[in-house]
Structure 1
Amino acid sequence: MTDDESPGLGLDLPAQPLEKSAAASPYRVLARKYRPQSFAELIGQDAMVRTLGNAIASGRIAHAFLLTGVRGVGKTSTARLVAKALNCIGPDGKGGPTIDPCGVCEPCRAIAEGRHIDVTEMDAASHTGVDDVREIIEAVRYSAVSARFKIYIIDEVHMLSKNAFNALLKTLEEPPAHVKFLFATTEVNKVPVTVLSRCQRFDLRRIPAEALVEHFRRIAEIEQVDIEPDALSLVARAAEGSARDGLSLLDQAIAHGAGVVTADAVRDMLGLADRGRIRRLLSLLLSGDAAGSLAELDEARTLGIEPTALLRGLMEQTHAATRTKAGGSADPLASAEERAASEELAGSLGWGQLHRLWQMLLKGLSDVAAAPDPNEAAAMVLLRIIHAAELPDPATVIARLQAGGETGAVSVPAARAAPPPAPRAAAAPAPVAPAPEPEPAEDPAPASFVALVDLIERRGKAIRASQLRREVGLIRYAPPELVLKPLQPLGPNFTRELTDDIRAALDARWTVTLGDGEAEPSLQAQEKMAEERAREAILAEPGVAAVFAAYPGTTLESVSSKDANHA
């Protein structure tokens, strides 16, 4: 038996004649050579296999299936396996649909070799038009030639045009009993909901890294390749849950190592930094050794390690330490040395330090990706982390201020907790001080122009109140007389409309006129000036100044209205 006739080979290449020598056969990559030929070989999708098995055993087989998931998790392979399961007739030719197709009957072999006349596989990326769908619609009217079911497998179905989807809807909703549709897509969000509602959907999961490691180990044994366990772990991590991606990387690693695959060779191939280098760099950062950190970065650059890979390694180490500190389960692929390093780091750093380190690395990763020179950006990220490591955490600063520590500054929490002194409270401007809402009958004339505007707003005239705050300045407020200066163009009926609004709010007749004399700034401008005065007063407080001195580069983002009113 030649290599091409052995079990467990791909579905993309028909079997070769016996007289053809193995040396003349073209090399087939591992991703095709080890396509699953049965549901038992499909790794990481146990829930879907169990559901399909129960459906086939009970005869509750849907007329359309939609398989979705990331690349390389087995969508197309599953569709072909379903086609074999539905059309298998068993070795004796008398079997029915089964979750364990025999693989030896004529339908099984023909489907595996891609030559079955009743199983049509179409790539929607290259057949996107409505004419391609019309061919399917015309063909479904005819019974299967030799199989139990006529099956249509449409890969990357989301690539079909809108008209093609619309043309398929009626047939997809009520197909003939002998027709089954199997759709596969990586972008299910692009499939119309009208199509989704007519299909039985299966979401194929990312394959766990430990399952990929075991899968790759078995393949390495079959291929007679000597591969280190750490190298398998690196390939499984880099695969990100995709069996096809992992097998492609494994194929590359075997070629890279000439039949012997080591962890160092895989790191070189993937451009990764080794774990020891990551731990060494992280130790230098936390100890504040700027020169040593930059030297480590330069050495990594010389070895061809990308700055982004270096920062990702630091993030992985920080994440592992944080999970360890939180009591989470350790990475099953991590070595004993890596787990010990995570425990040591978790014990030496507090929660605040771990979170701050993670955020700075995350921000640094985006900076490196956007920078013209990634190596320069990476150096600045490392120096930023070293600088931040020298700063005390907020709890330490507050405790030092409360105890009257080195800064000798007034405690910020004490200043915030203590009631404001009486003179400061008395100095608060009366117009903006909160007061109970006056009853119009008892106090028909508000005490100030600000109170009048507030009253108009409470009476349901929010637009008018906004106009009074932004577009006019007060010249004279002497109830029942009001003289305003326009700061922006007003409507021709402004004074009459405002008079009516005041009469509705106060049940009194007022005289409203517009003048051109000296006027106060608008109420909006006054509020901004009050906020600026409050900002200056807050920045002048000794406790705040001490915090700013402890954290260089800190800024005061905003001032609340309460602070502005008491400024």
Structure 2
Amino acid sequence: MEKGYQVIARRWRPKQFSELVGQDHIVRTLSNAIESKRIAHAYLFVGPRGTGKTSTARLFAKALNAEGGPSATPDNESETSQAIMNGSCMDVIEIDGASNNSVEQVRSLREECQFAPAQCTYKIYIIDEVHMLSTAAFNALLKTLEEPPEHVKFFFATTEAHKVLPTIVSRCQRFEFRPISDDVIVGKLTEICESEEIQVEPAALASIARLANGGMRDAQSILDQMISFCGSDIKESDVLDVYGLVSDERIAQLAQALASLDYAAIIAAVDEFAVEGRDLFRILIDLEAHARGALLDAIQNGGNTTKLGGEMSTESIMRMLDALHRGEASVQKGLSEKVNFEVVLLKAAEESRSRAIDSLIKQVAAAGGGAGDAGEKKKP
């Protein structure tokens, strides 16, 4: 029987720590822990979705149960390694915290912990989305988590660490998974496309990385969808059309319209975006990123930048950014997305040119002081 298609995110899931990209600090720490035999009994993996938390848990379980003892570079071809990576190993139990969150289920898990592993060195429990466990379930787990049997290890993964009880966190070694940079994502996608014999424009990969918001799995899923849409030749325009994005050039033109108070150009640009079916909220986020780049440029160049067209000060750009940021909720959740988007852009343009009251007072005071000094000099 022919095997069904396996998505890129699964086919390219890391099989060794060396293949885990964007989390070098975690790879180094876990590898050193294995080599020095300083293995804790519980680990908490925290970070945004798609950054490698569950993959790291599987790799760690595979490393601890390597043939001949724990190894940071286990044999991929061994029966145990393959069973762990495909989820069929009896001693590596993956649990979804969202659907197994009752106190009865945790008590059952606690009783199972007492039994020795059937085929591996360690019995490992990987609980994904652990923050979904109820308070009673957490409390039922506390004692076992503090003093588990020697053959048991717990790996917890969560996107919302603040919802995990402090008493659970204090019993774990905590690892923070960072959002993966766009450059790293583009590098990995390039490697995948070369292996899959897919022709893709660098600008298209940059747009995919921007869409992924630091998540490698999201980026790979987007690439998979683009391959389905375009075949073996992916262009930037295809990605922009499918996901409702606009090019960097059009974002720059919109930013220049805001900086120059060209209200007609702003309204015309919004009309074009709406007719083309673009994602207005995503355009707002990209516009903020562009303005932030101009702000950094102004800071590096002594307080002014020309990246927004005319020369603008850091104070003006910060007021523009603040207005754009305040408008996110109204664009994303408002009843009329287009109207709200227009209003946010017009307010941002207007506020970028307004003077802060404290700086105006200082200027008036300085001017008044100078006039006073001049008047005193005229007195005989």
TM-score interval for Structure 1 and Structure 2 normalised by the shorter chain: 0.7 to 0.9
1:524-558 alpha-carbon deviations (Å, 9 max, x no partner): xxxxxxxxxxxxxxxxxxxxxxxxxxxxxxxxxxx
Q: Matched residues in 2 for 1:205 and 1:253: separation?
A: 26
Q: CA deviation at 1:160?
A: 1.8
Q: Matched residues in 2 for 1:27 and 1:356: separation?
A: 50
Pick the aligned partner of 1:375 from 334, 338, 345.
338
Q: Matched residues in 1 for 2:91 and 2:286: separation?
A: 51
Alignment of 1:422-501 (within 5 A): none
Alignment of 1:493-532 (within 5 A): none
Normalising by structure 1, we get a TM-score of 0.60
Q: Does 1:351 align with 2:314?
A: yes
Q: CA deviation at 1:232?
A: 0.9
Partner of 1:108: 81
Q: Matched residues in 2 for 1:370 and 1:109: separation?
A: 46
Q: Does 1:363 align with 2:326?
A: yes
Alignment of 1:181-330 (within 5 A): 181-327=154-300
Q: Is the 8 A contact 1:367 1:377 kept in 2?
A: yes
Q: CA deviation at 1:370?
A: 5.0
SS at match of 2:250: helix
The structure-2 alpha-carbon separation of the partners of 1:138 and 1:364, relative to structure 1 and needing over 3 Å to count, comes to closer
Q: CA deviation at 1:124?
A: 1.9
Q: CA deviation at 1:40?
A: 0.8
Q: Matched residues in 2 for 1:239 and 1:324: separation?
A: 25
Q: CA deviation at 1:291?
A: 2.6
Q: Is the 8 A contact 1:325 1:347 kept in 2?
A: no
Q: Is the 8 A contact 1:322 1:346 kept in 2?
A: no
The structure-2 alpha-carbon separation of the partners of 1:348 and 1:100, relative to structure 1 and needing over 3 Å to count, comes to same
Q: Matched residues, percent identical?
A: 42
SS at match of 1:202: strand
* AA aligned opposite 1:113: N
Q: Is the 8 A contact 2:299 2:314 kept in 1?
A: no
Q: Matched residues in 2 for 1:287 and 1:208: separation?
A: 32
Q: Is the 8 A contact 1:288 1:389 kept in 2?
A: no
| Structure with the greater alpha carbon radius of gyration | 1
Q: CA deviation at 1:395?
A: 9.6
1:470-495 alpha-carbon deviations (Å, 9 max, x no partner): xxxxxxxxxxxxxxxxxxxxxxxxxx
SS at match of 1:120: strand
Partner of 1:83: 61
1:448-489 alpha-carbon deviations (Å, 9 max, x no partner): xxxxxxxxxxxxxxxxxxxxxxxxxxxxxxxxxxxxxxxxxx
Partner of 2:35: 57
SS at match of 2:125: strand
Normalising by structure 2, we get a TM-score of 0.88
SS at match of 1:103: coil
1:282-330 alpha-carbon deviations (Å, 9 max, x no partner): 33333343333322221221111233333333322221111111129xx
SS at match of 2:87: coil
Partner of 2:16: 38
Q: Matched residues in 2 for 1:130 and 1:315: separation?
A: 45
The structure-2 alpha-carbon separation of the partners of 1:69 and 1:310, relative to structure 1 and needing over 3 Å to count, comes to closer
Q: Is the 8 A contact 2:319 2:352 kept in 1?
A: no
SS at match of 1:310: helix
The structure-2 alpha-carbon separation of the partners of 1:27 and 1:371, relative to structure 1 and needing over 3 Å to count, comes to same
Partner of 2:375: none
* AA aligned opposite 1:352: E
Q: CA deviation at 1:188?
A: 1.7
Q: CA deviation at 1:367?
A: 3.9
Q: Is the 8 A contact 1:324 1:346 kept in 2?
A: no
SS at match of 1:122: strand
SS at match of 1:345: coil
Q: Matched residues in 2 for 1:370 and 1:151: separation?
A: 42
Q: Matched residues in 1 for 2:261 and 2:197: separation?
A: 48
Pick the aligned partner of 2:368 from 414, 422, 433.
414
Q: Matched residues in 2 for 1:203 and 1:260: separation?
A: 37
Q: Is the 8 A contact 1:398 1:413 kept in 2?
A: no
Q: Matched residues in 1 for 2:24 and 2:349: separation?
A: 47
Q: CA deviation at 1:391?
A: 5.9
* Structure 2: runs of 5 or more not aligned: 373-380
1:4-50 alpha-carbon deviations (Å, 9 max, x no partner): xxxxxxxxxxxxxxxx4xxx321111111211111111111111111
Q: Matched residues in 1 for 2:344 and 2:139: separation?
A: 52
SS at match of 1:31: helix
Q: Matched residues in 2 for 1:396 and 1:121: separation?
A: 59
Q: Is the 8 A contact 1:79 1:153 kept in 2?
A: yes
Q: CA deviation at 1:106?
A: 2.2
Pick the aligned partner of 1:141 from 114, 123, 145.
114
The structure-2 alpha-carbon separation of the partners of 1:102 and 1:286, relative to structure 1 and needing over 3 Å to count, comes to same
Partner of 2:376: none
* AA aligned opposite 2:193: A
Q: Matched residues in 2 for 1:346 and 1:51: separation?
A: 46
Q: CA deviation at 1:353?
A: 2.4
Q: Matched residues in 1 for 2:41 and 2:358: separation?
A: 63
Q: CA deviation at 1:141?
A: 1.9
* Structure 1: runs of 5 or more not aligned: 1-19, 90-94, 329-341, 403-410, 419-567
Q: Matched residues in 2 for 1:348 and 1:316: separation?
A: 18
Q: Does 1:28 align with 2:28?
A: no
SS at match of 2:136: helix
Q: CA deviation at 1:121?
A: 1.6
The structure-2 alpha-carbon separation of the partners of 1:102 and 1:356, relative to structure 1 and needing over 3 Å to count, comes to same
* AA aligned opposite 1:351: T
Q: Matched residues in 2 for 1:306 and 1:376: separation?
A: 14
Q: How many residues align?
A: 369
Q: Matched residues in 1 for 2:83 and 2:43: separation?
A: 22
1:258-279 alpha-carbon deviations (Å, 9 max, x no partner): 2211111111222112222222
Q: CA deviation at 1:347?
A: 6.9
Q: Matched residues in 2 for 1:205 and 1:150: separation?
A: 28
Asked which structure has the greater RCO (Cα within 8 Å, sep 6+), the reply is: 2
* AA aligned opposite 1:354: I
SS at match of 2:187: helix
* AA aligned opposite 1:53: S
Root-mean-square deviation over aligned CA pairs: 2.8
Q: Matched residues in 2 for 1:288 and 1:47: separation?
A: 46
SS at match of 2:308: helix
Q: For structure 1, which segment, 365-374 or 272-281, has the greater mean C-alpha deviation from structure 2 after superposition?
A: 365-374
